[in-house]
Amino acid sequence: MNGKKSRLEYIDALRGVAIIGVMVYHYLPRFELTYQLDFAMITQYTEYGKYGVHLFFIISGYVIYMTVARTSSPMQFIFARFSRLYPAFWVSVTLSYSLIVLYGDPVVRVLPDMYVYQANLTMLQRFILYPSIDGVYWTLTFELVFYFYMGVFMLFGLQRNSFRYSFVWLVCTIGVTCLAIVTDTELSERLKGLFILE
């Protein structure tokens, strides 16, 4: 087994850990709520499953350069990312919307209308100030923003100097985070989205 294959299998294993952590984090509290059960002794540990999302983002940041290296043009990159995210996302949004409208949801206080549904289909609902039909969709919005930035980097050939631009990004991120803490305004929320912060 060569090193490259081992590394990719290792990444897949990390993805598996992240998936299990996120699923348990989301579904165990919902199970408690639905069936009026108490899993407090377990949920105090499964709370850490939310960091599986951060692990996904780290993995994405790592493997995206492999994708960029195999891609001949920014348009090819954008098409590949679009076809990877949107079709399954549209099915998921439509299914979630249909089930919530038909059966309700104990967590959702206001049923989503058609405008919310259509906004969610864009995957940009956060930026146009519509709620997500399913709260977990926020991660895909951030993933989309990340892909957009990588496409821009490719367009201008900036990926060759990624360390320099990553440093600038870090400084901007710290600035936006401080702004969000101090002001807590709608503008700071939008900026957090643009800089892939949550």
Rg for the chain, CA atoms, rounded = 19
Going by pLDDT thresholds of 50, 70 and 90, the confidence category of residue 94 is very high
**Would the pTM of this model clear 0.85, i.e. be above it?**
no
HSE-CB of 110 using CA atoms within 13 angstroms = 8
Helix axes 186-194, 162-183, angle to 10 degrees: 160
Residue 173: pLDDT over 80: no
- Where in the chain are the domains? 1-70, 72-156, 161-198
User: Which of the four pLDDT bands, split at 50, 70 and 90, describes residue 27?
Assistant: confident
For 39, how many CA atoms within 13 A lie in the half-sphere containing its CB? Answer: 17
pLDDT class for 93, splitting at 50, 70, 90? very high
